[in-house]
Structure 1
Amino acid sequence: MSGSLIRLGPRAPVSLTPGGTLQFAGTIRDAALLISTAEVFAWTAPEDSREADILRFLDTRETPGDFLLYGTGASLRFASPAFARQIEKRGLGLETMDTAAACRTYNVLIAERRRFTAALLPIPRG
């Protein structure tokens, strides 16, 4: 993995602060989050390696769930066609949305005890 992962703990609610950073379990994080079906990780990776990192992360999970929830930052940015094909090849669906919508969706999905993986990008400052 090109970026680094730091285990934060089991799944818990996630929110987006007004400044665009992600807040997990009451703590503001200056990193993206990669979330398995059981655990949450702080994730830092260069923009050009994010999709490859997500695929490697999926490949290391015993059960990645039914789909990948992908929060792409301040606005919806569709994944590359090659990335979408790789997600499909792994038998997963791909739900892409801006990070604010992805955080709301994530919280509903964990309340429903759904099995999925999520990649949530913060909104860059500036």
Structure 2
Amino acid sequence: MGRGIVIRQAHFPGRAPIDAYGNGGFRFADMSHRGSLLLLPSGVYGWGLDEGEPLTVAAFERVLDESKDIEVLLVGTGKQLRPLPAELKAALKALGISSDPMSTGAAVRTYNIMLAEQRAVAAAVIAV
């Protein structure tokens, strides 16, 4: 019997600036990824959130798990800025994380700058 296809969670260990975004994905570290991303201290992860889907606390669970290493979370909400729900803002604030929603393009640019400054930054960016 064959084992079948093993689907691995998309994960890049380490921190990397985003080189490009658009066409439903991102380019970083000489790789391309279709879909949304979480850019965390432990690495870059595929994130199963599409533009327009609710920004729930559950969707940000991995971010909350790494809160001790994050001071600022940039949230790229897609083409348009969407405010973060009060419940999500409160969950982040309770862990000492300042959250800043903006368009995905602005989040990518800000993340790259803060990463270069070696700040304790993370980003959750929805593919556009």
TM-score normalised per structure 1: 0.81
3-state SS of the aligned residue for 1:17?
strand
Give deviations 1:13-34, integer Å, cap 9, x for gaps. 1144342421122322112111
Q: Segments of 4+ in structure 1 off by > 3 A? A: 15-18, 48-51
Matches within 5 A, 1:42-53: 42-45=46-49, 47-48=53-54, 51-53=57-59
Q: Does 1:57 align with 2:54?
A: no
Aligned to 1:113: 118
1:74 counterpart residue number: 79
Q: 1:82, 1:97 → 2: CA distance?
A: 18
Equivalent pair of 1:68/1:119 in contact (CA under 8 Å): yes
Structure whose alpha-carbon radius of gyration is higher: 2
TM-score by length of 2: 0.80
What is the letter of the counterpart of residue 23 of structure 2? G
Identity of aligned residues (%): 28
The number of residues matched between the two structures is 119
Distance 1:80 1:111, change over 3 A: same
Gaps of 5+ in 2: 1-7
* Residue 68 (structure 1) shift: 1.0
Match of 1:12 in 2: 16
Q: What is the DSSP-based 3-state SS (H/G/I as helix, E as strand, rest coil) of the residue aligned with 1:11?
A: coil
2:78 partner letter = G
